[in-house]
Chains A and B, each alone.
Chain A
Amino acid sequence: MSGTGLFLCFFLIIHLLGNLQLFLPPEQAREQFNWYSHLLSGNIIIKTVSYVLYISIIGHTIYALIITRKNAAANGTKYAYDKRGTASVWYSRNMGLLGTIIFIFLIIHFKDFWYQYKFTDLPLDAKGHKDLYTIVTKAYQQLWYVLVYEVALLALGFHLLHGFFSAARTLGVFHPKYVRWVKTLGWVYTLVIILGFMAMPIFVYLNGLS
């Protein structure tokens, strides 16, 4: 879980940096964003990394299912009265639920952008690149679609908040000093990634209104 999880964390940084181009003025953003998408799709290194990404997502999910089954089997009969939740934070106990929300979101996300870009004929922009920018901005013009993204990103945020430090634990970071660093880094990382991603659909939506 920790290896695939941390790779996915690393991927999110790259994904966020690339998507920052959406914040440029519309015409410049279109050109930049489409050029960037074209650059990624043609690069052999990026192609290799993308396969690692697919494997990580699938591996992370399947291993989570296996562990969840084992853990369910390890629980004996249910408690008649259960207040164990008072001893830990809710998101640490609900990684599976948060993960499911993220997984459903990923299906929507892949279908609407990744599949469209890779397997359909999109109109080209002035530079002759596939016009993914229009697809993205059109999608975020719908309020319900923006809301779906915001909810899914919140789920991702709590997933990261627990996942990042939990991965460090699994890898064996036990020194109290570095444990504190990891915890702080986890918070900073989560806030930057999630607030960054959450701002994008809202920015595009508000841009479309004016």
Chain B
Amino acid sequence: MKLSLKIWRQESFDAKGSMISYQLDKVSSDMSFLEMLDLLNEELVQKGERVIEFDHDCREGICGQCGIMINGRAHGPLSNTTTCQLHMRSFKDGDTIYIEPFRAEAFPIIRDLKIDRKAFDHIIQAGGYISTSTGQPPEANSILISHDNTEAAFDAAACIGCGACVATCKNSSAALFTSAKITHLALLPQGKLEAAQRVINMVDQMDTEGFGHCSNTEACEVECPQDIAVLHIARMNYEYNKALVFKP
């Protein structure tokens, strides 16, 4: 199939970017979206031009590295799919595809489609862990956890931190990401001990990084590749309100 592509090109962090048009022939419908970009980059290399830079790693939909805005939607037209798991069969011959980086003040563009998601790391550093002595793994049955709780915690832990929630949110809020981390730990006995301090630190850090407020449009859940539920945001609010009241 033949495609006409409009791709965001930006030299560096502080350079001004713009949408540049490309024509690409010989695209197979079996290609993944990233393979289609590889094909375009191969042509650019042969022409001696600078390649289009984009993030990717596992290409299996589990690492959270890839993530671009495709035709105005995070990770493209399919719901709950990463960019690497989107295939060209979702497009038609002769289509025009707009490709842009995820945009938010807290996610500065490094180059082309590559963005800096350090803000997420800072939120994790603010409390997305448990304080414990390391060493040999403890005996697995010494702390009992119900099956339902394990599953619920794992549902939250499935967040891969790709940033699609921020990119798709009209307020550029990181509430879904932060709440997934908070729920994951708050549900487990090891995480409960520091739950109050954790939620306050992480929510404060989220504000410090310059993310917006959540206004519950629920768009993030639709675009999230891991289908992280918006109810985690409600639980984060619950934990936060509880912490404000009962924190010593």
Which A residues have a C-beta under 8 Å from some C-beta of B? 67, 70-71, 73-84, 86-89, 92-93, 95, 162, 165-166, 168-174, 176, 179
Which 5 A-B residue pairings sit nearest by Cβ, starting from the closest? A172-B238, A83-B72, A74-B212, A174-B234, A81-B98
Known: A70-B212, A74-B173, A170-B237. A84 touches B219 (CB 8 A): yes
CB distance from B235 to the nearest CB of A (A): 4
Asked whether, in the complex, the Cβ of A169 is within 8 Å of the Cβ of B216, the reply is yes
Give the chain A neighbours of B103 by CB distance below 8 A: 75-79
In the complex formed, the residue of B with least CB distance to A91 is B217
Alpha-carbon gap, A168 to B238, bound state (A): 10
Query: Would B234 and A172 count as touching, CB distance under 8 A?
Result: yes
Give the CA-CA distance A84 to B218 in the complex, in Å: 11
Bound together, the chains give a CA A88 to CA B223 distance in angstroms of 10
Q: Residues of A contacting B173 with CB < 8 Å?
A: 71, 74
**0/1 string, B14-45, CB within 8 A of A gives 1:** 00010100000000000000000000000000
- Please give, as numbers and ranges, the residues of chain B lying within 8 Å of A80 by CB-CB distance: 6, 8, 19, 98, 100
Contact between A92 and B216, CB atoms less than 8 A apart = yes
A5 to chain B, nearest CB (A): 12
> Cβ of B196 < 8 Å from any Cβ of A?
no
Asked if A87 and B223 make an inter-chain contact with CB atoms under 8 angstroms apart, the answer reads yes
Q: Which residue of B lies closest to A73 (CB)?
A: B105
Interface SS majority for chain B: mixed
- Contact residues of B with A, CB < 8 Å? 6, 8, 17, 19, 69, 71-74, 79, 98, 100, 103-109, 168, 170-173, 210-213, 215-219, 222-223, 230-235, 237-242
Partner of B73, one of A86, A92, A166: A86
Residues of A within 8 A of B240 (CB): 172
Q: Is the Cβ of B231 less than 8 Å from the Cβ of A174?
A: yes
A71 with B213: CB separation less than 8 A: yes
Residue of B nearest to A76 (CB): B103
Residues of B within 8 A of A165 (CB): 216
Which of chain B's residues have a CB closer than 8 A to the CB of A88? 217-219, 222
Docked Cα-Cα span, A206 to B223, in Å, equals: 48
In angstroms, Cα B216 to Cα A162, docked, is: 8
Q: Which of B104, B170, B235, B237 contacts A76 (CB 8 A)?
A: B104
Residues of B within 8 A of A86 (CB): 73
- A71-B172, A74-B104, A174-B231 given; A84·B238 CB < 8 A: no
Can you name the residue of chain A whose Cβ is closest to the Cβ of B18? A80
Q: Report the minimum CB–CB distance from B242 to chain A (whole Å).
A: 8
In this complex, the member of B72, B103, B215 whose beta carbon has the largest number of chain A beta carbons within 10 angstroms is: B215
Residues from chain B with Cβ under 8 Å of A73 in the complex: 105, 210, 212
Query: Which among A74, A78, A82, A166 is the interface contact of B106 at CB below 8 angstroms?
Result: A74
Give the CA-CA distance A165 to B215 in the complex, in Å: 11
A79 to B69, Cβ gap below 8 A? yes
In the bound assembly, the distance between CA atoms of A78 and B100 in angstroms comes to 10
Q: A87-B168, A166-B216, A170-B237 are in contact. Are A74 and B71 (CB under 8 A)?
A: no
Q: Which residue of B lies closest to A182 (CB)?
A: B234
Chain B residues contacting A174 (CB-CB under 8 Å) are 231-232, 234-235, 237-238
CB neighbours (8 Å) of B212 from chain A are: 70-71, 73-75
Contact B170–A84 (Cβ < 8 Å): yes
A83 to chain B, nearest CB (A): 3
Q: Which of B107, B237, B240 has the most CB of A within 10 A?
A: B237
Residues of chain B within 8 A (CB-CB) of A176 are 231
